[in-house]
Amino acid sequence: CSNTPKIKSIFYCAQRYCTPEQAQSGRNLLSPSCEENAGFPLPTIQDYLLSEAELNQVLVLNATAALATANVPLNTPAIPDSDWQALGEKTVKEFYATWNIDFDFSFAMLAFWGLVIALGIGHRTITVMKKPRGAPQSRWWLWIRKSLILPPTFRKHQSEAVARSFTIPPRLESVILALYVVMNFIMCFPGYNLFIGNQYYPTYKLQLARYVADRTGFLSIAQLPMVWVFAARNDPFMWLTGWSFATYNLFHRWIARIAVVHAIIHSIAYTVFDFYSTGDASSYQSSWAEEYWYCGGIATITMALMLGASAYCFREHFYDLFLMVHIWMSLIFFVTLWYHVKIFSGEFNYYLYPCIAIWVLDRLLRFGRTVFISVMPRFTKGVEAVATYHRTTDMARLDITDFMPNKPVVPGLYYYLYMPVGLRGYESHPFTVCSWRRPGSSEPPSPRQSIMAKEFGTNIRPVFETSASGELAHTFLIRPYGGMTGRLQNRLFATNESVASAQVTVFLEGPYGEKLDLSGYSDVLVLCGGSGITAAISHAHFLVADNNHTKVHIAWAVPQRHLPDDICANELASVIHTDRVYMTVYLTSAAEEEAQNAEKLPARPPYEIRFGRPDAQTVMREHRQIAKKSMAIVTCGTPQFSDACRAAV
């Protein structure tokens, strides 16, 4: 800003090769930098305006002469010749043309998912407006469902992990993701015009390294808004499209993986560019002292670690640890990325602001749902959940009736359960609500009433005796594993009773999911395994109460009879004896073991008993033959079980 020969050289060059408007625009662009760093603006164009004769006397250098004398101080103004100026102009134009293509491709990434979501909303709208569930469908739509929507990508392994390492998405999602991966790969290459004489990057290696680094950097940061969109629980697009959270989470993981790959290539390409531009390892090491450089390195390393920590085998065995690591690493990544792009004066912030807005809005809605469902009832009515654990069934039952409104929870909805005790109260897990009606006043008191009677030492009149028969109840059926459910089991184990009960403080967040009304079908077949019976319970009670013709057939695979008898005495007690609900229990443990304990179990259970694991295709064909008109199939169980059912359909 105070180098007069340099300032004159800039102005004389502008006078020779630019229009007056271009010259003034260039001066306006440079002057703020001088005001900020030197405390005064650049001189005006008129201050150094020369006549044509004077301009012709200014020293003119060509590229060769300039390169040869680059290390010699020049104390007089100089301008490039026309050839050198043309190369400089081409260099700037090509750089910004590539830069603009980078922006275009990054917006194309967002447009792709905008189109996918728009198609999902369109399909959802058509589905809602057309015939009800169970009505005959056209052949082309049946073909699309059979060939594209329902089947796995290959013959199996949609829910079950391949080699316990990764899962393969359903076929339709695989097609979408394959297109997206190919699109990202192709967009890494077009628009690079490499040429000799580039004034920024003289060699092809430097030009290609810089352009690839910029392109992959753009494509990486452009993925982030959609990563956050598909990670949010309270996403309005979720109910507009009707997609499940599992589908959204699938897209979230794959977009994040692609963003990580782009970020790694971006970092490698910039490392190559920095090394080739100087050829000096010490210069590369000094780059790590720059804030934007080391923050970018930390962001890339954090993304790579998150990618490894989100592997299926790690999530399956250490989900709670994965969740904590994921949250903290996401915070580190976002902060370091912010400082990495800070040098661009906010040019990339419009990729980051949506992420912040989505995260804040999602957390506010989560908090609001939790306060409305859990905190307000606790402080206004002093309610707590009642947990009951049966050692023989290895199943915990969590009674949340007092938290819920006095109306049935429709099938398809679920809640996230928090247990805000200790340092891990942030953990949450989704559970399906069993919404059912108690069979009547002949039933024993609920766990809550039993506990209250023990604590107060009084004979409390059960609630169901003062209310109409068929009091509504809401419960979670929880199979204890590790983490939060394991801690619940350990707490109940402390009582050393065969049936242990305790009041527990819980928070509920929800409801989430989509209402699944199957009343348009004449028959509904529910194939489930273990704790997947919750889906059957919800559908059985909803369909029995909703209409007078749909029949529910339950095929349940479970190791022993203890759990089916317990469910039939509680959640299914009011419907299992009707002519609308039929259940077949497949005992997967040894028949001899059941025979030894037969005297301890009811002689005539309200369900059919078969031994061995059910063959999904055989069960479906058997019930299809007895279905009156149309049949819907619902499955809930382990990934292997779900894959077998999907393949059978």
Q: What is the pLDDT of residue 632?
A: 92
Q: How far lies 627's CA from each of 139, 551, 622, in Å? A: 21, 9, 9
CA angle 102, 106, 112 (to 5 degrees): 140
Closest CA to 214 of 124, 94, 330, 120: 94
Contacts 24+ apart (CB under 8 A), 497-502: 498/390, 498/391, 498/392, 499/388, 499/389, 499/390, 499/391, 500/388, 500/389, 500/391, 501/386, 501/387, 501/388, 501/389, 501/447, 501/450, 501/451, 502/386, 502/387, 502/451
Most confident of 238-247, 289-298, 308-317: 289-298
Residue matched to tokens 């039929």: 582
Exposure string over 192-201, b if 16+ CB within 10 A, otherwise e: beeeeebeeb
Q: How do residues 119-154 score in pLDDT, each as one tens digit?
A: 999 988 887 777 565 556 667 767 777 677 766 666
Give the whole-angstrom CA distance, residue 590 versus residue 372.
47
More confident of the two residues 384 and 250: 250
For residue 393, what are its two tokens? 């069934």
Higher pLDDT, residue 597 or 209:
209
Per-residue pLDDT for 201 more than 60?
yes
Q: How confident is the model at residue 250 (pLDDT cuts 50, 70, 90)?
A: very high
In this prediction, residue 646 carries a pLDDT of 79
In whole angstroms, give the CA distance from residue 460 to residue 452. Answer: 8
How does pLDDT run across 541-550, given as a tens digit for each residue? Answer: 999 887 668 9
Domains by residue range for the chain, with CATH: 4-80 (no CATH), 371-513 (no CATH), 523-648 (3.40.50.80)
pLDDT at 444 over 50: no
The pLDDT tens digits for 83-112 are 999 999 999 999 999 999 999 999 999 999
pLDDT of residue 372 exceeding 90: no
pLDDT digit string (tens) for 459-470? 333 333 333 346
Residue in this structure with the two tokens 């690839």, named with its chain if needed: 212
- What's the whole-number average pLDDT of the chain? 85
CA distance linking residue 231 with residue 251, whole number of Å: 9
**Predicted local confidence at residue 455, as pLDDT:** 39
Do the Cβ atoms of 635 and 619 come closer than 8 Å?
A: no
Give the pLDDT band (50/70/90) at residue 452.
very low
List strands edge to edge, sheet with 507-513.
Answer: 428-432, 413-418, 507-513
Residue 385 φ then ψ, to 5°: -80, 160
Share of the chain above pLDDT 70, in %: 86
Question: Identity (one letter) of the amino acid at 199?
Answer: Q
Mean pLDDT, range 604-629, rounded to an integer: 90
- Which among 415, 432, 431 has a CA at the least distance from the CA of 510? 415
The whole-number average pLDDT for the span 16-37 is 90
Among 38-42, 404-408, 490-494, which range has the highest average pLDDT? 38-42
Mean pLDDT, rounded, for 410-428: 84
Q: 492-541: per-residue pLDDT in tens?
A: 876 666 778 888 888 889 889 888 889 889 999 999 998 899 999 999 99
Alpha carbon distance, N-terminus to C-terminus of the chain: 75
Q: What is the mean pLDDT of residues 435-445?
A: 63
pLDDT-derived band at 165 (thresholds 50, 70, 90) equals low
What does the alpha-carbon distance between residue 224 and residue 395 come to, in Å, rounded to a whole number? Answer: 40
Per DSSP, helices labelled H in 579-634 are 591-596, 616-626
Q: Which two tokens stand for residue 261?
A: 């790959």
Residue that the structure tokens 């101080």 belong to? 73
For 606, residues 6+ apart whose C-beta sits below 8 A from its C-beta are: 568, 576, 577, 583
What pLDDT is recorded for position 465?
33
What single-letter amino acid sits at 107? F
314 alpha-carbon distance from chain centroid: 17
Q: How far apart (Å, rounded) are the C-alpha atoms in residues 621 and 636?
A: 18
**Max avg pLDDT among 185-189, 547-551, 599-603:** 185-189
Write the Ramachandran bin of 279: left for phi over 0, alpha for psi from -120 to 50, otherwise beta: left
Which residue type occupies 237?
F
Q: Count other Cβ atoms within 10 Å, centred on residue 108.
A: 14
Q: What is the mean pLDDT of residues 312-322?
A: 83
| pLDDT in the model for residue 132 | 60
What is the model's pLDDT at position 111?
96
What pLDDT, on a 0 to 100 scale, did the predictor assign at position 157? Answer: 52
Residue 53: per-residue pLDDT? 92
Region 590-618: mean pLDDT is 72
> Among the listed ranges 36-50, 208-222, 379-393, which one has the minimum average pLDDT value?
379-393
Q: pLDDT tens digit string along 339-365?
A: 999 999 889 999 999 999 999 999 999
What pLDDT band is residue 252 in, cutting at 50, 70 and 90? Answer: very high
Containing 478, the helix (H) or strand (E) segment is: strand 472-478
Asked whether the beta carbons of 580 and 552 are under 8 A apart, the reply is yes
Instruction: Please classify residue 322 by burial: count the beta carbons closer than 10 Å to its beta carbon, then call 0-12 exposed, 13-18 middle and 19+ buried.
Output: middle
Q: Is the separation of the CB atoms in 545 and 408 below 8 Å?
A: yes
Per-residue confidence band for 260, with pLDDT thresholds at 50, 70 and 90:
very high
Residue 441 clears pLDDT 80, i.e. is over it: no
pLDDT exceeds 70 at position 160 = no
Residue 453, pLDDT above cutoff 50 = no
Q: pLDDT class for 231, splitting at 50, 70, 90?
A: very high
Query: Poorest-confidence range of 25-39, 64-78, 202-216?
Result: 64-78
d(CA 622, CA 238): 36
User: What span, in angstroms and rounded, lies between the C-alpha atoms of 649 and 643?
Assistant: 10
**CA-wise closest residue to 79 among 7, 28, 20, 25:** 7
Instruction: Determine contact, residues 5/75, Cβ cutoff 8 Å.
Output: yes
Q: Is 240 left (phi over 0), alpha (psi -120 to 50) or beta?
A: alpha
User: Which residues 6+ apart lie within 8 Å of 179 measured at CB?
Assistant: 112
Give the per-residue pLDDT at 596.
52
SS3 content of the chain, % helix, strand, coil (to 5): 55, 15, 30
Neighbours of 535 (CB within 10 A): 22
In sequence order, what E strands does 485-580 have? 499-504, 507-513, 523-529, 551-558
Which helix (H) or strand (E) covers residue 80, if one does? strand 78-80
